[in-house]
Amino acid sequence: MAVDITPMTIDVPDSVLQDLQTRLEMTRFPNQVSGTGWERGVDLDYMKELVDYWLHEYDWREQERRLNAFQHFKADVEGLGIHFIKQEGKGPNPMPLFMMHGYPWSFILLLKILPMLTDPESFGGDPEDAFTVVIPSIIGYGFSDYPDQQGFGFQHHPEKYDKLMTEGLGFEKYGIEGGDWGGFITAPYGFHHPENLTGIHLNCLFPRLGDERPEQDKDPDFLRGLGMKWAPIKPEDPEMLQYWKNVEQYWIDEGAYCHQQMTRPQTLAMAMADSPVGLAAWIIEKWRNWSGWYEDFEELFPRDMLITNVMLYWVTNSFWSAIRLYSESYYNGWELPPGQRIEVPTAVAAYPHELAPIVRKRAEMYYNVVHYNDYDAGGHFAIHERAEEMARDLREFFRPLRNQ
């Protein structure tokens, strides 16, 4: 079946915006224990201020116009609709690059870096390093569809994206980049479609890629809580011990959302599909905490950007399908076969404030790492927070690979 691609314009019906207005006006807020602030989730005063701004100052139609300045398309890939932006590179031989976002992101988090990659000369770079960039709304997110089937996890995404890039857009080879779920997806992507990839660039390496327990730890009577069944009981290597301690701390402090989305997504989706304020609270709390900027997070993410990201979940009613990625990947897991790794040339941009900072030797267990940088600042949203630095890293990594 041929991949059919048609131009697309974002145009949310007035009825959807009117319904949203009514729901925001009718918001019923909970109470909050005095002085707790953000200690147990979103701060009540902040959310009241945000809703007031959303109602009286935020302009979706203006944001819609800005988003439509980019070239949007919708591809039909074997009956599945995938939305994407395609921006042509300005240079003698732009290289195709497919860039994947994560949760609770959307494609807007990659828009800052986009011109730095497509037009490097305007940012002090070499036009020889230009990319033609394709940024999708990953399957189930925003304007992209979700297949009406169980078992469609992150490991099934690459086949659809590869068809889009090769059969739909006609690229013989291309690079991929990912953070958060996008980084996770690079593993099955590189394992199953290496022949079409020039290289892999990632800035997030999550725990669930393979079983790292020694044989003596594989006792069925051991309890394996908090989604860490792949972790050794007590790593002997000090670096790996610290890595798994970081993972454990993340699960304890931040992992409740993940466990809910893995195990009971439909229950949560009922609330989020009905309450825009609940949806905003659920998403924005993560942007604040995971950025590491805390009380200054609106300096990194302007308020209009925060709300626009939430709007892309709301106007498409896609929160339910977005979090299915957690559930289907959990109940239908995938990992690399024992003793194998991804042999596609790989670059790792490691940031100190990532949720579980990358350890080089662990990345090398799973990927053919040929380019590695440990940066001294930046975190989970580095693709936006450290956009210029990330753009340089991408150019440097792919430069020697372009003509191979």
For 52-70, the pLDDT digits (tens) are: 999 999 999 999 999 999 9
pLDDT at position 333 is 85
pLDDT at position 241 is 80
Q: What is the pLDDT of residues 319-353, one digit of tens each?
A: 999 999 999 998 888 889 888 999 999 999 999 99
Q: What is the pLDDT of residues 185-209, one digit of tens each?
A: 999 999 999 999 999 999 998 766 7
337 half-sphere exposure, CB direction, 13 A CA radius: 3
- In angstroms, the CA 103 to CA 122 distance is 30
Report which of 116, 133, 7 is spatially closest to residue 71, judged by C-alpha positions: 7
Model confidence at 223: pLDDT above 60:
no
Percent of the chain scoring above 90 in pLDDT: 79
Tokens 């998403």 locate to 283
Helices 256-263 and 265-272: crossing angle in degrees, nearest 10, is 110
Q: What is the pLDDT of residues 129-151, one digit of tens each?
A: 999 999 999 999 999 999 998 99
Catalytic residue selected from 180, 243, 384, 393: 180
Tokens 């730890």 locate to 217
Quote the mean pLDDT of the chain. Answer: 93
Going by C-beta distance under 8 Å and a sequence separation of 6 or more, which residues neighbour residue 45? none
Length of the chain: 404
Cβ-contact 239, 359 below 8 angstroms: yes
Number of H helices, E strands in the chain: 16, 9
19 half-sphere exposure, CB direction, 13 A CA radius: 13
pLDDT at position 307 is 98
Query: What average pLDDT does the segment 273-285 reach?
Result: 98
3-state secondary structure 302-359: CHHHHHHHHHHHHCCCCHHHHHHHHHHHHHCCCCCCCCCCEEEEEEEEECCECCCCCC
- In angstroms, the CA 377 to CA 353 distance is 7
Helical ranges in 57-129 per DSSP H: 60-67, 114-118
Fold for the domain defined by 4-20+41-210+255-401: Rossmann fold (3.40.50)
Any catalytic annotation for residue 326?
Answer: yes
Any catalytic annotation for residue 372?
Answer: no
The domain spans of the chain are 4-20+41-210+255-401, 215-253
pLDDT at position 225 is 53
Catalytic residue selected from 72, 83, 157, 380: 380
Q: What is the pLDDT of residues 346-387, one digit of tens each?
A: 999 999 999 888 999 999 999 999 999 999 999 999 999 999
pLDDT at position 245 is 80
- In angstroms, the CA 271 to CA 55 distance is 20
Place 113 in a pLDDT band, splitting at 50, 70 and 90: very high
Query: What average pLDDT does the segment 263-282 reach?
Result: 97
Report which of 132, 85, 120, 133 is spatially closest to residue 106, judged by C-alpha positions: 85
- In angstroms, the CA 299 to CA 47 distance is 17
Place 279 in a pLDDT band, splitting at 50, 70 and 90: very high
Place 83 in a pLDDT band, splitting at 50, 70 and 90: very high
Model confidence at 86: pLDDT above 80:
yes
- In angstroms, the CA 150 to CA 147 distance is 8
Cβ-contact 390, 117 below 8 angstroms: no
Report which of 202, 226, 122 is spatially closest to residue 397, judged by C-alpha positions: 202
- The tokens for 256 are 């409740």
Catalytic residue selected from 326, 351, 366, 367: 326
- Report the Cα 171 to chain-centroid distance in Å: 23
Query: How do beta strands 131-136 and 4-8 pair?
Result: unpaired
Going by C-beta distance under 8 Å and a sequence separation of 6 or more, which residues neighbour residue 121? 90, 91, 127, 130
Tokens 């790292």 locate to 212
- In angstroms, the CA 115 to CA 122 distance is 8
pLDDT at position 240 is 80
Cβ-contact 199, 401 below 8 angstroms: yes
- In angstroms, the CA 289 to CA 291 distance is 6
Any catalytic annotation for residue 46?
Answer: no
Model confidence at 73: pLDDT above 80:
yes
Q: Render 43-66 in DSSP notation, one character per residue.
A: -HHHHHHHHHHHHHT--HHHHHHH
Beta partners for residue 200, in sequence order: 176, 346
Q: Pick the residue with more confidence: 392 or 242?
A: 392
pLDDT at position 35 is 87
pTM of the model: 0.93
Going by C-beta distance under 8 Å and a sequence separation of 6 or more, which residues neighbour residue 268? 260, 261, 323
Model confidence at 403: pLDDT above 90:
no
pLDDT at position 247 is 78
70 burial via Cβ count (<10 Å: 0-12, 13-18, 19+): middle
Query: What average pLDDT does the segment 247-251 reach?
Result: 79
Q: What is the pLDDT of residues 93-104, one digit of tens each?
A: 999 999 999 999
- The tokens for 84 are 């994407």
